[in-house]
Structure 1
Amino acid sequence: MNYKGINFLKKQLFSKRNRVRMRYRYYEMKNGIKDFKIAIPNEFKYVSETLGWCSKAVDSLADRISFKEFENDNFNMNKIFDMNNKDILTDSAILGALIASCSFIYISQDEDGYPRLQVIDAYDATGIIDPITNMMIEGYAVLERDEKYNILSDAYFTCEETVVFDYVGHREIHVPNPARYCLLVPVIHKPDAKRQFGHSRISRACIDLQQGALRTLRRSEVAAEFYSYPQKYILGTDSDADPMDKIRASISTMLQISRSEDGGGTPTVGQFAQQSMSPHIDQLKSFASLFAGETGLTLDDLGFVTDNPSSAEAIKAAHENLRLAARKAQKNFATSLINVGYLAASVRDGFEYKRNQIYETKVKYEPLFEPDMSTLSLIGDGAIKINQAVPGYFNKDNLQDLTGIASSKLDVPSVSDDEE
């Protein structure tokens, strides 16, 4: 197979790092403010404002996508995931994919030869994707860094072997690959034919809208200073009079102003109209509405309290766009997780399984919205009516997918015909 080579992949990773770093800054609320430098005084240019809207857009989706298990697991992939801290592993991979459009899971072997799974973010990994299987035919990843972010070890992945470069021990380790594809699996959010590595949840629109909201917060901070201490003025003072101390004039409850020596009138003291915070609040709410429309959130999610929904169904209706986005993300991540389990099974057994052997394996998730008691009652009534029309259509397995509640393991005593 013709490979691009490790140097090509390093250049490709370097060209994308700035975009990944920027989105992580927005998620971690460490981004700066792009100020227009028109109306803000220099004394206020260092005012720091932070806003967690981009974090909310990512977390609101990541927290609802909870991997449960593999169904029709004929390769015992559930055990591999359970042995690798399934909850932390999948949540970390999904979160990284939502932030940076993709993340990667590196498959290796522990001391006993059992598969070991490690999540690597998009800042430290890249590769060439097979557009049919969505798996990598060639990849590169940074495996370890020191506290100064210098590379301690990295790896080059091919379909034949994994080459690990240990820069501390000055050695090169070649590990044969028993699987059909390289042992670096991408976990991708919303891929398409043009962008195989997907799209980030933190879109350009989200970034621009949050920047506009941050500038609004900074302007409101400046306006608040003048709102707290309205500007005053004095007309008719003597030109030779000592200048008034600014702090004393601002906080004193009684000011003594003398008549001018030439017999003129008493100086006129006035106050400018007090600034209003309403325009800034309205503009911030306008940005919040646009951001909510972009991400499928509501104004309640962004901190603007409105009428609270009265039931779980009302919450679902308010988050319909978010539910559709979560469903789409679940489909994307399901393929990636199955690919991880498939390659990990090949590593565990030391055998090159064919991919068509896992076509019946499916991924099951927890419900996106946990039902309340009224919803459970509606589900129960609906299940009874449907089972009356189609006996056995609903049972404890598919009802658990709707409710998220596992069935009881206690034996239910049956009533015999004689006892009746």
Structure 2
Amino acid sequence: MKGIEYLKRKLNARRRRVLLRYKYYEMKNGRLDLGRLIPPEQAVKYNSVLGWCAKAVDTLADRLSLIGFEDDTFDFMGIFNDNNPDVLFDSAILSALISSCSFIYIADSGDGTPNLQVIDGSNATGIIDPTTGLLQEGYAVLSRDTDTQKVLKDAYFRTGITVVRDYVERTQEEFISHAPAPLLVPIIYRPDARRPFGHSRISRSCMNLQNQARMTLTRANVTAEFYSHPQRYVLGLDEDAEFDSNKASISSFLALDRGEDGSNPQIGQFTQQNMEPHISQFKMYAAAFAGETGLTMDDLGFATENPSSAEAIKASHETLRLTARKAQRTFGSGFMNVGYLAACLRDDYAFSRNAVYQTTPRWAPIFEPDASQMSGIGDAAIKINQAVPGYFDKDSLEQLIGVRAGAEAGNGDTKE
């Protein structure tokens, strides 16, 4: 056991990076330093904000919808239904995509139904078992002061016991359970052997490309001022002549007197600024960001062609589809672990993991088919069932078309 102090240091060491990604997601990542090209007071005026990182996260999160479990022997979905699954699943998935890992805290409500609470990656950590995906021990901040971010309430998790400390009331409570692992379960996005707590959807490349695009957009805004009002100059004007530059910039008629030697002042105009280089550079960064995240230029606001069919949209998002499929596998494993430990807490018995190995998560289709696709799927299912009777049933068709049969329709409902 590493102990609570080790976990606190581990959380503090990684909290800053997680909060940085939340700033990019919430578009609060501050003003960029544009160097000597643009004075600071002008940079504040023309500062630009982009939501590409938020778009990359939301586009994937919106396509991940857990609707239930197959062979749900221990009624995992019943536990989730008692904990507002529409919000719980979406909140856990969104937080995991941003911070690479979110956590679900399982607590005993006292009435036999476990309470589930999502904790973001900046407020929880632990030592993970790479085989099961469960924690060996964990630590979570349950409450912070909104102004100072000081910890008001936290919890330390070990197998069979959860210690909750309230620093305001100066109390400490211990909760005993028969669960075979700590009651803090990680929901991880793209884990690997080197980084078992996964990777963030908002990568360093995404942040850098968004920063470069913001700088380009800011320069374009400054250039637009000179594009709308080209700079002019006057030669041969007397030093003591009264000249109102503001009036000259907005007046349609300008009168200038002769000099003392009788010469006329010469008026000229600098070359007008060109917006095209900035537009091309901005599109270049958009294309690079789209390639990095599996999006298309249309997703980032650049219309490239006429409206496409559902099949064409699916084909253009092939990289996103593969990414979503991978995320379904890792998130599904995490939610299975939550249901498993919650069932152990509910029944006050340490079930073996072998007892739930046949239970699998059911996800809604990543891309909902249109009417023509549904018709094609139906024809194919009929032909396959003629060759192999019973191969397709309503459950397997539901996973293809995302529509439940008859009175069973409804997101998250369990089947009898």
TM-score band by shorter chain is over 0.9
**Deviation per residue, 1:309-348 (Å, 9 max, x gap):** 4311100000000000000000000110000000000000
Equivalent position amino acid for 2:29 in 1: N
Q: Which residue of 2 aligns with 1:304?
A: 302
Task: State the alpha-carbon separation in 2 of the partners of residues 48 and 178 from structure 1.
Answer: 55
Task: State the alpha-carbon separation in 2 of the partners of residues 317 and 386 from structure 1.
Answer: 24
Task: State the alpha-carbon separation in 2 of the partners of residues 302 and 356 from structure 1.
Answer: 45
Note the residue ranges of structure 1 that are not aligned, 5 or more in a row: 411-420
Alignment of 1:217-228 (within 5 A): 217-228=217-228
* Post-superposition offset of 1:377: 1.2
Q: Which residue of 2 aligns with 1:406?
A: 404
Are residue 268 (structure 1) and residue 254 (structure 2) matched?
no
Identical columns (%): 57
Question: Residue 25 of structure 2 contacts residue 54 of structure 2 at CA under 8 Å; is this kept in 1?
Answer: yes
* Post-superposition offset of 1:308: 3.4
Note the residue ranges of structure 2 that are not aligned, 5 or more in a row: 409-416
Q: Which residue of 1 aligns with 2:79?
A: 80
Equivalent position amino acid for 1:102 in 2: C
Any idea what SS the aligned residue of 1:143 has? strand
* Post-superposition offset of 1:254: 1.1
Equivalent position amino acid for 2:202 in 1: I
Q: Which residue of 1 aligns with 2:60?
A: 61
Alignment of 1:179-194 (within 5 A): 179-194=179-194
Question: Residue 102 of structure 1 contacts residue 189 of structure 1 at CA under 8 Å; is this kept in 2?
Answer: yes
Equivalent position amino acid for 2:12 in 1: F
Task: State the alpha-carbon separation in 1 of the partners of residues 306 and 132 from structure 2.
Answer: 44
Task: State the alpha-carbon separation in 2 of the partners of residues 325 and 309 from structure 1.
Answer: 24
* Post-superposition offset of 1:409: 4.3
Instruction: Give TM-score, length-normalised by structure 2.
Output: 0.95
Q: Which residue of 1 aligns with 2:159?
A: 159
Question: Residue 82 of structure 2 contacts residue 113 of structure 2 at CA under 8 Å; is this kept in 1?
Answer: no
Closer/same/farther in 2, CA of residues 225 and 181 from structure 1, 3 Å limit: same
Equivalent position amino acid for 1:155 in 2: A
Question: Residue 27 of structure 2 contacts residue 50 of structure 2 at CA under 8 Å; is this kept in 1?
Answer: yes
Closer/same/farther in 2, CA of residues 114 and 80 from structure 1, 3 Å limit: same
Any idea what SS the aligned residue of 1:69 has? strand
* Post-superposition offset of 1:241: 2.3
Equivalent position amino acid for 2:253 in 1: M
Question: Residue 33 of structure 1 contacts residue 211 of structure 1 at CA under 8 Å; is this kept in 2?
Answer: no
**Deviation per residue, 1:250-294 (Å, 9 max, x gap):** 11111111111223x211111112212111111100000000000
Q: Which residue of 1 aligns with 2:33?
A: 35
* Post-superposition offset of 1:42: 3.6
Of stretches 18-27 and 272-281 in structure 1, the one that deviates more from structure 2 is: 272-281
Any idea what SS the aligned residue of 1:31 has? coil
Question: Residue 159 of structure 2 contacts residue 182 of structure 2 at CA under 8 Å; is this kept in 1?
Answer: yes
Q: Which residue of 1 aligns with 2:241?
A: 241
* Post-superposition offset of 1:226: 0.8
* Post-superposition offset of 1:388: 1.9
Q: Which residue of 2 aligns with 1:97?
A: 96
Question: Residue 166 of structure 2 contacts residue 172 of structure 2 at CA under 8 Å; is this kept in 1?
Answer: yes
Any idea what SS the aligned residue of 1:45 has? helix
Any idea what SS the aligned residue of 2:362 has? strand
Question: Residue 33 of structure 1 contacts residue 215 of structure 1 at CA under 8 Å; is this kept in 2?
Answer: no
Q: Which residue of 1 aligns with 2:117?
A: 118
* Post-superposition offset of 1:240: 3.3
Task: State the alpha-carbon separation in 1 of the partners of residues 222 and 47 from structure 2.
Answer: 12
Question: Residue 33 of structure 1 contacts residue 214 of structure 1 at CA under 8 Å; is this kept in 2?
Answer: no
Q: CA RMSD in A?
A: 1.2
**Deviation per residue, 1:353-408 (Å, 9 max, x gap):** 11111110100000011111111111111112212222221121111110001112
Task: State the alpha-carbon separation in 2 of the partners of residues 115 and 223 from structure 1.
Answer: 59
Question: Residue 101 of structure 1 contacts residue 198 of structure 1 at CA under 8 Å; is this kept in 2?
Answer: yes
Task: State the alpha-carbon separation in 2 of the partners of residues 146 and 239 from structure 1.
Answer: 63
Equivalent position amino acid for 2:90 in 1: D
Closer/same/farther in 2, CA of residues 317 and 152 from structure 1, 3 Å limit: same
Q: Which residue of 1 aligns with 2:203?
A: 203
Task: State the alpha-carbon separation in 1 of the partners of residues 34 and 41 from structure 2.
Answer: 15
**Deviation per residue, 1:147-179 (Å, 9 max, x gap):** 323322100000131000011221110111210
Equivalent position amino acid for 1:399 in 2: L
Task: State the alpha-carbon separation in 2 of the partners of residues 107 and 42 from structure 1.
Answer: 49
* Post-superposition offset of 1:33: 3.9
Question: Residue 288 of structure 1 contacts residue 299 of structure 1 at CA under 8 Å; is this kept in 2?
Answer: yes
* Post-superposition offset of 1:246: 1.8
Question: Residue 209 of structure 2 contacts residue 288 of structure 2 at CA under 8 Å; is this kept in 1?
Answer: yes
Q: Which residue of 1 aligns with 2:387?
A: 389
Of stretches 363-372 and 110-119 in structure 1, the one that deviates more from structure 2 is: 110-119
Any idea what SS the aligned residue of 2:403 has? coil
Q: Which residue of 1 aligns with 2:348?
A: 350
| Runs of 4+ with deviation above 6 angstroms | none
Question: Residue 106 of structure 1 contacts residue 120 of structure 1 at CA under 8 Å; is this kept in 2?
Answer: yes
Any idea what SS the aligned residue of 2:173 has? strand
Task: State the alpha-carbon separation in 1 of the partners of residues 37 and 118 from structure 2.
Answer: 46
Q: Which residue of 2 aligns with 1:414?
A: none
Q: Which residue of 2 aligns with 1:415?
A: none
